[in-house]
Amino acid sequence: MENFLRFPLDMIPFVFLVLLIAFTFHEFAHAYFADKFGDPTPRSMGRVTLNPRVHLDLLGTILIFVVGFGWAKPVLVRRSSFRNPRVMSVIVSAAGPLSNLIIAFIGVLLTYVLAYFGWFETMSPGVFEAVRVFLSLLIYLNLILFLFNLLPLPPLDGYRIIQEFLPMRVRLKLQQYEQWAFFIILLLVFVRPLYNVTLGAVFSLMPPLLFGMDSVCQMIFGKAIHWASFLKIS
């Protein structure tokens, strides 16, 4: 069975825990800002909550375990309820991916805190490995979700953001093809040549993002983490 999974079996509990955090805060961020901007829909559907049960999507969660990334249950938003539909829709759409970027940074920050105060050295080997795996996945999966959700393909957040800047005639034209977007995503995932020039290229931005967050933490703590040895997730 392990041959069909993106992660080793002993990491599955950690992956699931990180997914609960990542997906829950991602969708909550969408719902929270939509609610604050005057759209009653997310609250009426019970989405303005940190209860992960209402946010998880079965297929999107399974794909995380199989291919390394996926999605949660989308939050329904009615942009017509916003006072400034374009600006507020962009903020609502961007809130989800940005929440994942923030969580990834928190993971980097926690790693530095533990290293700076020498708490890693006080841990037993088993506890250290558990903490290391959790923090590695917290950083890795949230960076993946940040980048993946910014892809300009429906129903992802990147598409919703770009959509706000397109002429109405173009938006209406694109809506005719939205039903095929899921199959396009599957092709990008499972056809290796397509993956290499699309998703692979996008995910290659992870090291620069990590470097940026690491640079901030180095300025704060005055020391460096050897991420190549710390971020071992497979």
Q: Of the residues 27, 121, 129, 178, which is catalytic?
A: 27
Q: Record the tokens describing residue 140, joined without a space.
A: 């890795």
Residue at token pair 């923030």? 102
Residue at token pair 């180095």? 218
Rounded to 5°, angle at Cα 50 from 161 and 13: 100
Cα separation, 210 vs 227, in Å, equals 9
How far from chain centre, in Å, is Cα 226?
23
The residues, any chain, with a CB within 8 Å of residue 184's CB and separated by 6 or more, are: 153
Cα separation, 210 vs 143, in Å, equals 8
Residue at token pair 């397509």? 194
Q: Record the tokens describing residue 193, joined without a space.
A: 């040549």
For residue 95, CA distances in Å to 92, 161, 167 come to 5, 11, 23
In the chain, where does DSSP find H-type helix?
12-36, 41-44, 58-67, 85-116, 119-122, 125-149, 157-163, 168-175, 181-190, 192-197, 199-203, 206-221, 227-230
Q: Is 27 a catalytic residue?
A: yes
> Catalytic residue numbers?
27
